[in-house]
Structure 1
């Protein structure tokens, strides 16, 4: 109870990010940019989930790895439960037009949960190994390593045919399309989604260094001053 009382903002942020990503990842971007059909490359979830690494790195830097891991566990549990319930509720309310079957939602939740735990815990481990180095190196290295693992685990479990026993395959994701949405070589759409997702994660990880630096620069001096009063 004390943990939630003192760290509710980090838990809430993590929960909302993962929940939004779990819903948005089921929707390809049906947007045409010249010859490129973004539905062959990206889902909307790719724009949301990378910010989970920012929450983890901030919590890790401000409160240490023990609290960061607890935020990951709590946010994960809450988000997975909500990810199973919320899409159905949104569809029933008419707020989204795409209904996903219960088995498919469960598979997405399993994929998301597994990838989330592995990637976020790896992020915490790498961050603390490099914490005493230059300010940007720890969050950059941890976010990159976590992003690679997260993409591999999530898209593999969620869309690869070999994991059919966890839930039905997504026919649209398995259809062949141009690799990266442009090349003559074709591959299952989920493979291009994974590559596009990883590229966007890395781009956002670089962008997230700015708010990371600003927040750490504002909060740490205040906390240190309060400690020596």
Structure 2
């Protein structure tokens, strides 16, 4: 693995570890602090893709996945108030969502890399983030997948409540997923500026 990939791998690892820790702390009614750090993984992937190419981006994604699996294994051994901090469903959902969404991001970015500079990072991040949210929350909390871990009671997150407190009634996890998705979309837009600055710096181009 080329030495130039190390900063990207280190950044991805730091984001994954920080997100796994911060997801334990609530921010308001619908979010955790991890919702604000995890989307930065897409920024790292996109920068690596633009500067070093698709193969480098995939290597960084794989490194992040391995770190995420390691964090999940640690989380399953730490007992919280209601059981292990990381359940089997959360571990499966987290790993599958990360790998699928990040590799999708890498592929879409590569297809759009010759267009206007902002189209590739914005399009790939929005689509990747949407897939990430859908996969994780469905696997981790949907009542239809309770058979994945019958011993894990997720009844609380399937209580019927108005979406985000104001919309039609749906399981609570739907509100959590929508709030998470909205944060990802907002950060996808905000990340365009640091993406531009970091890429120009690494390629030694004027901003």
Please indicate the TM-score interval, normalised by the length of the shorter structure.
0.7 to 0.9
2:175 equivalent to 1:196? no
How many Å apart are 1:18 and its aligned residue? 2.2
Say yes or no: does 1:126 pair with 2:124: no
Matched, 1:215 2:204: no
Residues matched between the structures, number: 203
Question: Structure 2 regions of 5+ residues with no counterpart?
Answer: none
- After TM superposition, the structure 1 = structure 2 runs for residues 76-91 of structure 1, keeping only pairs within 5 Å, are 76-86=65-75, 88=77
TM-aligned CA deviation for residue 6 of structure 1: 3.7
4+ residue segments displaced more than 4 Å? 86-89
Distance 2:140 2:190 in 1: 27
Distance 2:143 2:86 in 1: 13
Cα contact 2:75–2:85 (8 A) shared by 1? no
In the alignment, the residues of structure 2 paired with residue 48 and residue 85 of structure 1 have an alpha-carbon distance, to the nearest angstrom, of 20
Contact 2:42 2:102 in 1 (8 A): yes
TM-score (norm 2): 0.88
Kept in 1: contact 2:17–2:68 (CA 8 A): yes
Q: CA RMSD in A?
A: 2.2
Pick closer, same or farther for the CA change 1:21–1:87 going to 2, 3 Å.
farther
Matched-pair contact (CA < 8 Å) for 1:22–1:108 = no
**Which one has the largest radius of gyration?**
1
TM-score by length of 1: 0.80
Aligned 8 A contact 1:62 1:220 in 2: yes
Structure 2 match to 1:36: none
TM-fit CA distance, 1:199: 0.9
Q: Contact (CA 8 Å) 2:161, 2:171: kept in 1 or not?
A: yes
Residue 161 (structure 2) aligns with: 177
Q: Which runs of 5+ in 1 are unaligned?
A: 32-38, 92-97, 223-229
